[in-house]
Structure 1
Amino acid sequence: MAATPRPPAEPQWSLPRGLIVLLSFAGAVVTVAGLRSSADILGPVFLALMLAIAVSPLQGWAGRRGIPRWLAVVVSLVGVYLVILLLAVALAVSVARLATLLPTYQDAFTELVDRVQAALADLGVGHPQIRAVLDRLDVGAMFGVLQGFLTGLVGVFSDLLFVLVLLFFMVIDAAGIPDRAQAASTTRPHIMSALSTFVRGTQRYLIISTIFGLIVAVIDVGALYLLGIPLPVLWGLLAFITNYIPNIGFVIGVIPPALLGLLEGGPRLLILVIVAYTVINFLIQSLIQPRFVGEAVGLSVTLTFLSLVFWTWVIGPLGALLAIPLTLLAKALLVDIDPSAGWLSYLISTKAVPAPSGGQPAHHEREETGDADDGQVP
């Protein structure tokens, strides 16, 4: 009769575990402080990295079909440059038009405040208290958060030369990464496997979010145009951008057109905008899209929300858009890269990993095998 296998002995710690935890937290605090202090440069760097990862499959596709890699590099650069320039111009023009449009609603906002004041007075609320609260409201302040968010994005794109030059070098380097990654995997297989998992997850997330974002943006523009909301293209662009923001992107996208609907046509138009966005955006972004995104990134809902808060706090508005890819990068560097830390993947993943026969826990959840060139680090 075969002997019952004994569980592996726990590693011996040279320091108390509590002290190791405290030292780890101290190192994390120092690292986060360094990230925040260099947010102005880290934002464009991470943006360029995500864009390079997004277009890297094109080079692998070209190589498998005998197309010269230099031609694939040129096509990738031209395509991503056009996307960046179009977004930068659209955001700049939209913010300028929004700043011009808001003052024209001051009279409508004042009238709305007077109606609210009269309704509250009929309910017995004291006039001084009403006046003290309503005097603090301003139509410009209501859109201050949105305008600050868009201005922050324009600020990132305003450093366009740095992003374009950095992206140029990253895309060129990506052409030789597959061969170098394969050579490195012979001596450091866990490290290269973790980075490849990060790249594949990021590519899937960006593709899924872009497709669903375009669908939502087109439908939103049509609905807002039919309802007569000013600047429908701007709000469609905002819906496309906020589609990359996990959990609360839908809420951010609905507030500006809903408030404009209130100022333009009263409560009825406000309700129509909210209903239209709820049917369109909530159905697609909150019910359909998460099923695909969850399969792509394998992160729990709680972790995605915390990552949104954390990365926005660290590097600003761009952190909200890149929260998921940045979290995947942190997971690859802190969890996937270390075989002994594989148990953490089970705690933060959306899928339970069953134990194989024999009672031993699965070492690590493996990603689906993708194309060799597509899974390499750009």
Structure 2
Amino acid sequence: MSDHSSPRALIVLLTTASAVVALFGLREVASIAGPVLLALVLVIAVSPVRGWLAGRGSPTWVQVAVPFLVVVLVLLGMVAVLTVSVIQLASILPTYATQFQDLLAEAQLFAVSHGISNEQLNKAVQSYDPGRVLGIVQTLLTSLLGVLSSLFLMVVLLLAMSLDAPVTAKLLAAGRDHKPALVTALTTFAGRTRRYLVVSTVFGLICSALDVCVLALLGVPLPLLWGVLALITTYIPNIGFVLGLLPPALLALLDGGSRQMILVIVAYSVINVVFQSFILPKYLGDAVGLSTTMTLLSLIVWTFVLGPLGALLAIPLSLLTRALLIDSDPSARWAAALISGGSTSPPPPDPSGTASTR
């Protein structure tokens, strides 16, 4: 009998092409897809609250309203802090124009003393305009307005998804007998996502509080803003710590010189190493289920597709992709071992106790 199966190379090429088309298509509608996916992740994050209320016989409207209000209040609080802080940043940045120009001159002298000065460096220093700092501030404010407009769309989506959450849970429970692999994969995705968000948030809050205390003791301006930034960058794998460190370190350099900048870098590094390298992995365990290489690739791909929001959602979106394409297909176990670094053990139990619904 002749073998009519498609060549493996053709299957790989078609799969790759389909993935590229899907990602570029998603990138074209990133302004819509981003808030939708963020709303989905947030609804999953607060689903244990709904499960707790349902277990105590609360009315359906209470099961919908309470988780929704929890998310909205957290988002509004964070946006309020960022708005006030960015306005304060806009008012103090122009006052550092002279210090910044002095730093450029020192850097030029350093380059000249080491024989690496060139004509382009001289032109760059001479053409520096302190007024450009105001342009950076205006860009920050414009970006903030864009976030606020997206926030309205996300709140509407959150409300819609919160209303559908009880029905979705019942549908998943009813479909377990018909599509057990798919339902199990989605349940595992929800449990892993919740554990990742809860653990990351708890340790992110601790690290952020310590960062704020350190910055306040060192006299770095706007410590609360940099603390919120450190919390947000907690959800960005691999490079989040660096992104959260750079702005306060640069501001410390302008405000107090190189000594203050070094102290900020050392303090941030100590806090990050202790929590991110020693404590966090112990509590997070295998909840993520992605190897270090896959985590970095996820960050690159989702940032390319969805922009900064993709960097924040890189882990949850990769877990969702794994659930839909790999975990739901028993024949794809080899791929699960590949992307998880060889570990295919089940995720740790969901602390909410609602990871599975039957």
Match of 2:70 in 1: 79
Q: Distance in 2 between matches of 1:291 and 1:40?
A: 36
The farther-off stretch of 116-125 and 31-40 is 116-125
Q: Distance in 1 between matches of 2:122 and 2:237?
A: 38
Q: Distance in 2 between matches of 1:372 and 1:274?
A: 37
1:172-215 C-alpha deviation (Å, 9 max, x unpaired): 21123332211111111111111111111111011011101111
The farther-off stretch of 368-377 and 313-322 is 368-377
Match of 2:355 in 1: 375
When the two structures are aligned, how many residues end up with a matched partner? 355
1:306-330 C-alpha deviation (Å, 9 max, x unpaired): 1111101100100010100000001
Q: Distance in 1 between matches of 2:138 and 2:236?
A: 17
Q: Distance in 2 between matches of 1:308 and 1:143?
A: 31
Match of 1:32 in 2: 23
Quickly say closer, same or farther: Cα 1:145–1:60, change in 2 above 3 A.
Answer: farther
Contact 1:102 1:139 survives alignment (8 Å): no
Match of 1:16 in 2: 7
Match of 2:155 in 1: 164
1:298 and 2:274 matched: no
Contact 1:73 1:171 survives alignment (8 Å): yes
| Residue from 283, 306, 322 that aligns with 1:331 | 322
Q: Following TM superposition, by how much is the alpha carbon of 1:162 offset from its aligned partner in structure 2, in angstroms?
A: 1.6
Compute the TM-score of the two structures, normalised by the length of structure 1: 0.86
Q: Distance in 2 between matches of 1:371 and 1:120?
A: 56
| Residue from 339, 342, 347 that aligns with 1:348 | 339
Contact 1:39 1:315 survives alignment (8 Å): yes
Q: Following TM superposition, by how much is the alpha carbon of 1:125 offset from its aligned partner in structure 2, in angstroms?
A: 4.4
Match of 2:220 in 1: 229
Q: Which AA in structure 2 matches 1:344?
A: A
Contact 1:298 1:351 survives alignment (8 Å): no
Quickly say closer, same or farther: Cα 1:347–1:136, change in 2 above 3 A.
Answer: farther
Match of 1:216 in 2: 207
| Residue from 308, 313, 324 that aligns with 1:322 | 313
Q: Within 5 Å, which residues of 2 pair with 1:257-276?
A: 257-276=248-267
Match of 2:111 in 1: 120
Q: Distance in 1 between matches of 2:233 and 2:170?
A: 36
Q: Distance in 2 between matches of 1:123 and 1:349?
A: 47
Task: Specify the SS of the correspondent of 1:297.
Answer: coil
Match of 1:57 in 2: 48
Contact 2:287 2:347 survives alignment (8 Å): no
Quickly say closer, same or farther: Cα 1:35–1:266, change in 2 above 3 A.
Answer: same
Match of 2:232 in 1: 241
Match of 1:182 in 2: 173
1:213-262 C-alpha deviation (Å, 9 max, x unpaired): 11111111110001010111100000000000001111011111111111
Compute the TM-score of the two structures, normalised by the length of structure 2: 0.90
Q: Following TM superposition, by how much is the alpha carbon of 1:132 offset from its aligned partner in structure 2, in angstroms?
A: 3.5
The two structures, once aligned, show a CA RMSD in angstroms of 2.7
- Structure 2 portions without partners, runs of 5+: none
Q: Which AA in structure 2 matches 1:99?
A: A
Q: Distance in 2 between matches of 1:137 and 1:198?
A: 50
Q: Following TM superposition, by how much is the alpha carbon of 1:91 offset from its aligned partner in structure 2, in angstroms?
A: 2.3
Q: Distance in 1 between matches of 2:75 and 2:220?
A: 27
Contact 1:194 1:333 survives alignment (8 Å): yes
Q: Distance in 2 between matches of 1:284 and 1:150?
A: 32
1:288 and 2:279 matched: yes
- Structure 1 portions without partners, runs of 5+: 1-11, 354-364
Q: Following TM superposition, by how much is the alpha carbon of 1:147 offset from its aligned partner in structure 2, in angstroms?
A: 9.0
Q: Which AA in structure 1 matches 2:168?
A: I
Q: Following TM superposition, by how much is the alpha carbon of 1:153 offset from its aligned partner in structure 2, in angstroms?
A: 6.7
Task: Specify the SS of the correspondent of 2:221.
Answer: coil
1:366 and 2:346 matched: yes
Q: Which AA in structure 2 matches 1:375?
A: A
Report % sequence identity: 50
Q: Distance in 1 between matches of 2:238 and 2:17?
A: 30
1:7-41 C-alpha deviation (Å, 9 max, x unpaired): xxxxx762111111111111111101110000000
